[in-house]
């Protein structure tokens, strides 16, 4: 059987941040209550001239740079996001041109709330495994939206992660994947609306926890593995609290979670969230170590992956910025400047 | 800007793709079809610049066109690429941080947009290296 997996990966996080205190001050909330409740202390904010496409390009370029990939080998690009710059006009074509993979490839944009990026990974896995393509590029990128004053505003962040999926010279083999999908309206944004709506606490039990646990348990059953068989675990991070709780429910430890637990100082990068946690874990993982990943997208569904790190990780690990490096040296914004960066002020 | 006009130059804006005269070893950006020094003797080939360079000079824009007003004040500079050619570009930094001689590297950013309904133009800007 053909082994498939991650040939290279790259991440991108904008330099700007806003602290929870700064947002809470505007809306009269208690910053300590927010921080204790969500376990998020600050979140990333895009620059004025950054969007889902620009961040996706930077992440893709980091993935290409990390392994010095010949981009004409990339025969499929799928970009997962719920904040594509155009309603009609693909983000993936912009990325294809910007990394010089154009024109001989297939490309499409993917939308499934916060798990569109991992759905893109599965699409690439299928094409690679069936030998329809040599390499596939799967991206999760979002400038996450949250209405002013909404609870989402404390976590809706910005970032992008790109994975190059292939058969040879693997940095990490994806041994198996398992998905769960149901029609659960826990979070949505209607066409033309600037901000999403959500079901409050409804996004928790029937949304996040049900789907993540079903997918995670399903994958462990399919692969005949248990939490203790994995060195690391990554779960979708809509905030800092949910991944800790679901890890505990499933029997994973905080030690397994630690390298990929990035939400407290990054926020929720939506389509990039679980993928960012995986990138941060790959940054520190060693050959032979196993990683358990489960994403979640509202609407709702989860994709779970069982991954084993391969020899090639050592040669590519430090060839592009690590997630930890991208989190360093932030520039903090006032709420006023944050509103300007996020185009919340209409003139 | 007309969509077709931007589209024709798109690959040169997304990546710093210019030309190189192998006769006199001069690099050009934007690309030239003929070497103005060697003329008929010039041999032109396409080349991709590494995207690293230095600020030759700069100014701070306070009164900008309507579609860039949200970014003011911003730094507009002339960057000399390591391979030689000079180009005008926005430098992503605080105006007080910009200085002549500062090393910069290219990044992919939004250059502008026609309107909320219009085309978004992407391309190359520079940040401190």
Domain spans, chain A: 5-171+320-341, 174-314
- Note the pLDDT of residue B68: 87
Judge if pTM exceeds 0.90. Answer: yes
- Note the pLDDT of residue A225: 98
Chain-chain contact of B108 with A98 (C-beta, under 8 angstroms):
yes
Identify the sign of the CA torsion B27, B30, B36, B39: positive
- Note the pLDDT of residue A275: 98
**CATH of region A174-314, choose from 3.30.1300.10, 3.40.47.10, 3.30.420.40, 3.40.50.620:** 3.40.47.10
- Note the pLDDT of residue A205: 86
- Note the pLDDT of residue A53: 98
For residue B67, what pLDDT band results from cuts at 50, 70 and 90? confident
- Note the pLDDT of residue B56: 98
Q: Which of B2, B11, B17 is nearest to B122 (CA)?
A: B11
- Note the pLDDT of residue A201: 72
CA distance A243 to A261: 8
Is residue A325 part of the annotated active site? The answer reads no
Chain-chain contact of A49 with B125 (C-beta, under 8 angstroms):
yes
Chain-chain contact of A85 with B120 (C-beta, under 8 angstroms):
yes
Identify the sign of the CA torsion A38, A43, A48, A54: negative
Please indicate if any CB of chain A lies within 8 Å of the CB of B107: yes
Is residue A236 part of the annotated active site? The answer reads yes
Is residue A211 part of the annotated active site? The answer reads no
Domains of chain B: 3-128 (2.40.50.840)
> Is it true that A5-171+320-341 and A174-314 share their CATH fold?
yes
Answer yes or no: CATH 3.40.47.10 is held by domain A5-171+320-341: yes
**pLDDT tens, position by position, B17-27:** 999 999 999 99
Distance from CA of B23 to the nearest CA of A (A): 27
Q: Rounded to whole angstroms, what are the CA distances from A307 to A94, A120, A175, B106? A: 30, 16, 6, 34
Chain-chain contact of B108 with A85 (C-beta, under 8 angstroms):
no
Tokens of A112: 């499934």
Which among A58, A85, A343 has the least Cβ separation from residue B108? A58
Alpha helices of A171-284 — where are they, by DSSP H?
A: 210-223, 241-250, 254-257, 273-282
Contact criterion met (CB below 8 Å) for B98 and B77: yes
Token match 């569904």: residue?
A301
Residue among A98, A141, A339 with most chain B CBs within 10 A, to mutate: A98
Distance from CA of A54 to the nearest CA of B (A): 5
Q: Residues of chain A whose pLDDT is less than 50?
A: none
Report the C-alpha dihedral over residues A97, A99, A105, A108, rounded to 10 degrees: -70
**What is the average pLDDT across B66-70?**
86
- Note the pLDDT of residue A343: 86
Task: Say which residues have a Cβ less than 8 Å from residue A247's Cβ, sequence separation at least 6.
Answer: A233, A235, A253, A254, A256, A257
Residues of A within 8 A of B90 (CB-CB) are 49
- Note the pLDDT of residue B1: 65
Which among B15, B71, B125 has the least Cβ separation from residue A98? B15
Position with higher pLDDT, A251 vs B115: A251
- Note the pLDDT of residue A347: 66
Chain-chain contact of B14 with A97 (C-beta, under 8 angstroms):
yes
DSSP code of residue B119:
P
């Amino acid at each position: 059987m053909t082994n498939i997996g991650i040939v290279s990966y790259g991440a991108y996080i904008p330099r700007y941040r806003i602290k929870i205190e700064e947002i809470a001050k505007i809306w009269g909330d208690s910053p300590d209550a927010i921080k204790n409740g969500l376990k998020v202390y600050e979140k990333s904010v895009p620059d004025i001239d950054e969007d889902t496409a620009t961040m996706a390009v930077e992440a893709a370029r980091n993935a290409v740079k990390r392994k010095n990939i010949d981009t004409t080998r990339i025969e499929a690009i799928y970009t997962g996001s719920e904040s594509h710059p155009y309603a009609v006009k693909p983000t993936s074509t912009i990325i294809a041109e910007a990394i010089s993979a154009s024109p001989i490839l297939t490309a499409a944009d993917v939308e499934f709330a916060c798990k569109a990026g991992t759905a893109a990974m599965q699409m690439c896995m299928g094409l690679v495994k069936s030998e329809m393509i040599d390499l596939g590029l799967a991206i999760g990128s979002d400038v996450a939206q949250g209405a002013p004053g909404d609870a989402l505003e404390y976590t809706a962040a910005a970032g992008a992660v790109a994975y190059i999926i292939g058969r040879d010279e693997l940095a990490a083999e994806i041994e198996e994947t398992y998905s769960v999908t149901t029609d659960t309206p826990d979070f949505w944004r209607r066409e033309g609306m600037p901000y999403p709506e959500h079901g409050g606490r409804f996004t928790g039990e029937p949304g996040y926890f049900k789907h993540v646990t079903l997918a995670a348990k399903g994958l462990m059953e399919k692969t005949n593995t248990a939490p203790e068989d994995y060195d690391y675990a990554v779960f979708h991070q809509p905030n800092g609290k949910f991944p800790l709780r679901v890890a505990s429910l499933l029997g994973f430890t905080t030690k397994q979670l630690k390298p990929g637990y990035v939400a407290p100082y990054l926020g929720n990068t939506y389509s990039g969230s679980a993928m960012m946690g995986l990138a941060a874990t790959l940054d520190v993982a060693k050959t032979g170590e196993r990683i358990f990943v489960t994403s979640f997208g509202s609407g709702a569904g989860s994709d779970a992956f069982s991954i084993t790190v391969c020899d090639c990780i050592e040669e590519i690990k430090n060839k592009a910025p690590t997630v930890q490096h991208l989190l360093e040296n932030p520039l903090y914004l006032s709420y006023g400047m944050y509103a300007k960066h996020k185009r919340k002020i209409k003139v | 800007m007309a969509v077709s006009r931007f589209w024709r130059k798109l690959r040169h804006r997304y990546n710093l793709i210019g030309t190189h005269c192998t006769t006199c070893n001069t690099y050009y950006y934007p690309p030239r079809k003929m070497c103005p020094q060697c003329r008929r003797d010039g041999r032109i080939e396409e080349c991709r610049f590494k995207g690293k360079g230095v600020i030759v000079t700069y100014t701070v824009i306070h009164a900008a066109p309507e579609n860039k007003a949200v970014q003011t004040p911003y730094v507009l500079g002339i960057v000399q690429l390591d391979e030689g050619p000079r180009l005008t570009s926005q430098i992503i930094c605080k105006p007080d941080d910009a200085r002549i001689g500062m090393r910069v590297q290219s990044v992919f950013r939004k250059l502008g947009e026609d309107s909320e309904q219009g085309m978004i133009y992407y391309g190359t800007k520079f940040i401190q290296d």
